[in-house]
Amino acid sequence: MKEKKFIKKNLKNNKKNMTQITTTSWLIWTLAGIQSKKLNYNTLIAKLELELQESELVQRINKGKQMLLELNIEEEKVRQNWIEILQNSNIDKFEANGVKVRLKTSAWRLKIENEEEIPDEYKKEKTTVAIDKKAIKDDMKEWVIIDWVSIEQTVSLEIKYS
C-alpha cells in the first residue's frame, strides 16, 4: 500500500516535472525564435538605414553638383557682362583693390560651318578625316572666297588676384 502511494506520488511529481520541463523547453524555444526574429529585424533595419543614408548622400551630392552647375552658368553670364561693359567703354584693363582685370583677345581661328561641303583639297588623309585648317587659312590670306567657312575671334576676361 505504501508502495502504491509512493509510486502515485512520484508519478504526480514526474508529471509536474515533465510539464515544467516541457514548458521550460517551449519557453526557451519561443525565446530563441523571438531573438532570431529580432536579429533579422535589426539587420534589416540597419540595412535600410544604410540605404537611406546613401540615398540622402546621393541626393546631397546631386544637389551640390546642380548648385555648382548653376554657379558656373552665373559666372559665365557675369564674365560676358563684364566683357560687354569693358568693350563698350573701350577699356582693355583695370586694377582695383588688388584685382587685375584684363580683356584678352584670341587669335583668329576657323570655325567650320559645314564639314560636308569642304572640298578634298582642304582635307588631310588620316585614319579619320581631318580638316586642313592651315590650307584654308592660307587660301583666305590670298583672298580666296570660301562660302562654307566663317572666321571668328573670341574675347575672354582674365582676372588676377594679387
Distance CA 142, CA 110 (A): 15
- pLDDT of residue 150 exceeding 60: yes
Pairing type for strands 149-152 and 130-131 reads: unpaired
91, three cell numbers: 577699356
Give the tens place of pLDDT for each residue, 110-147.
889 998 999 988 888 777 888 898 998 888 888 888 88
What span, in angstroms and rounded, lies between the C-alpha atoms of 101 and 91?
10
Q: Which residue has the higher pLDDT, 10 or 141?
A: 141
- Alpha-carbon distance 42 to 131, whole Å? 65
- Give Rg (Cα) of the chain: 43
20/9 Cα distance (integer angstroms): 16
What are the structural domain ranges in the chain?
Answer: 1-91, 92-162
Q: Sign of torsion, CA 8 13 14 19?
A: positive
How many alpha carbons lie under 13 Å from residue 127 in its C-beta half-sphere? 0
Calculate the alpha carbon distances from 72 to 65, 69, 76, 81 in Å: 10, 5, 6, 14
pTM (two decimals): 0.41
45-78 per-position pLDDT tens digit: 888 888 877 778 778 888 888 998 899 899 888 8
